[in-house]
Amino acid sequence: MINISNRLKTVADIVLKQQTSGIIDVGCDHALLDIYLLQNNEDLRIIASDLREKPLRSAKKNIEKYSFLNKIELRLQDGLGVLDDFIDTAVISGMGEETIVDILNNGKEYLEHVDRLIISSNNKFERLRKDISEMGFIINDERIVYEEDKYYIIMEFIKGNKKYNKKELFFGPLLLNNKDELFYQYFNYLKEVDNNILKSIPKDNKKTEEIINEIKMLDEEI
């Protein structure tokens, strides 16, 4: 079995929890996730895409090593590209919020058959929830991962319409309902960051009130 990070294992766990006809892994890097997915379900059909040739060359070597060349189609393309009809799940992992939202906005016309988005961002989780929910998706799963001194939130979106309030967008509606140890660790960390920012900026700074309100909201939940 290929060795992958806990973050990628969490992404894979969400992908594998329900049946899928096909997956596109956008920004596949070295295709480690795709190999792991196939090792757990050889019936999957996967497109692994990246906009850079070097990662795709590394991906091809890894795929050859594990004998999955006939199972994973490699594509050199930016974003979603043109999606085959069998693709119903899109995975976008290891990118910032702005890049992820740009990929989805630029590929809106190709999302017709996509029922699920599995997103692993490394920042701006509140904004990510807001932007993707406004595209006609609802949050179906959320999990916090702490790895190499960083926090990641893995989210699964499915087709649907729902308006989330500010607290749900900030904390995550499902994370709020299922508070675990990582929930408290992550949001205590955010509170510490906010307090440190307050100490370093003038009291009349325009961000001061925003940060104070965020700390109040954090205090109410943790």
For Cα atoms 188, 152, 140, give the angle at the middle one, nearest 5 degrees.
Answer: 100
Q: Phi and psi for 142 in degrees, rounded to 5?
A: -145, 135
What pLDDT is recorded for position 84? 85
Q: Digits of tens for pLDDT over the chain (222 positions)?
A: 899 999 999 999 999 999 998 999 999 989 999 999 999 999 999 999 999 999 999 999 999 999 999 999 999 998 888 788 899 999 999 889 999 999 999 988 888 889 999 999 888 999 999 999 999 999 999 999 999 999 999 999 999 999 999 999 999 999 999 999 999 999 999 999 999 999 888 877 778 999 999 999 999 998
What pLDDT is recorded for position 27? 93
Of 182, 108, 190, the C-alpha closest to 142 is 182
Task: Please tell me the pTM assigned to this model.
Answer: 0.94
Which CATH architecture is the domain 6-162 placed in?
3-Layer(aba) Sandwich (3.40)
Q: How far is CA 151 from CA 119, 122, 129, 154, 189, in A?
A: 14, 7, 16, 10, 10
Residues 98, 143: Cα–Cα separation, whole Å = 20
Token pair recorded at residue 205: 């700074």
What pLDDT is recorded for position 207? 87
